Amino acid sequence: MTTVVRDGLFTVGDSPHLVGGRCGDCGRHHFPLLGTCPYCSSDQITRAELSRRGTLWGWTAVTAPPPGYLGDVPFGFGVVELPEGLRVITRLSHPVEHFTFGMPMHLRIVALHTDENGDDVLTYEFTPEAYDRKIVPTGEAGGGRA
């Protein structure tokens, strides 16, 4: 069994997407999906499945578990720019040593940790296109070693 770290953040399956919103007034995208446009205050929002592919804008590695964190360390952390004109804060696959600015990345859904019911709790991360591999590792917590 699996569950997700927060409902409505992403779709799962072979072709997962982050779920954001598109503003009917200013035309801009946001993530996660909100009821009000965070740029122009419009309430004309439609659900939008965001591109699975983007480019790397910034990255680092988190080496010590931050407060409240339930996964393994170290893990990658950074910003991926999507074709919708959006920069998304995201976990990244680890290690990050060979990452470069503008590197093509794609979304994958990974197990963050196992909860008290023995269910894998899924979250999203981006990994370099070049590192492509099977999505949703089973029995492997954390950032899925590339």
Q: Give the footprint of another protein on this chain (CB under 8 A).
A: 5-6, 9, 20, 28, 30-32, 38-39, 58-64, 66-71, 75, 77-79, 81-82, 85-91, 96, 101, 112-113, 121, 123
- Residue 131, phi then psi, degrees to nearest 5: -95, 15
Please identify, using beta-carbon distances, which residue of 87 and 106 lies nearer to another protein.
87
Nearest approach, Cβ of residue 132 and another protein (Å): 22
Nearest approach, Cβ of residue 61 and another protein (Å): 6
Nearest approach, Cβ of residue 62 and another protein (Å): 5
Please identify, using beta-carbon distances, which residue of 25 and 69 lies nearer to another protein.
69
One-letter amino acid for residue 126 of the chain = F
- Residue 144, phi then psi, degrees to nearest 5: 55, 90
Please identify, using beta-carbon distances, which residue of 28 and 52 lies nearer to another protein.
28
Strands 29-30 and 2-4: unpaired
Nearest approach, Cβ of residue 40 and another protein (Å): 8
Please identify, using beta-carbon distances, which residue of 13 and 85 lies nearer to another protein.
85
E strands present in the chain: 2-4, 19-23, 29-30, 45-49, 53-62, 75-82, 86-92, 104-114, 120-128
Give how far the C-alpha of residue 127 lies from the chain's centroid of Cα atoms, to the nearest Å.
10
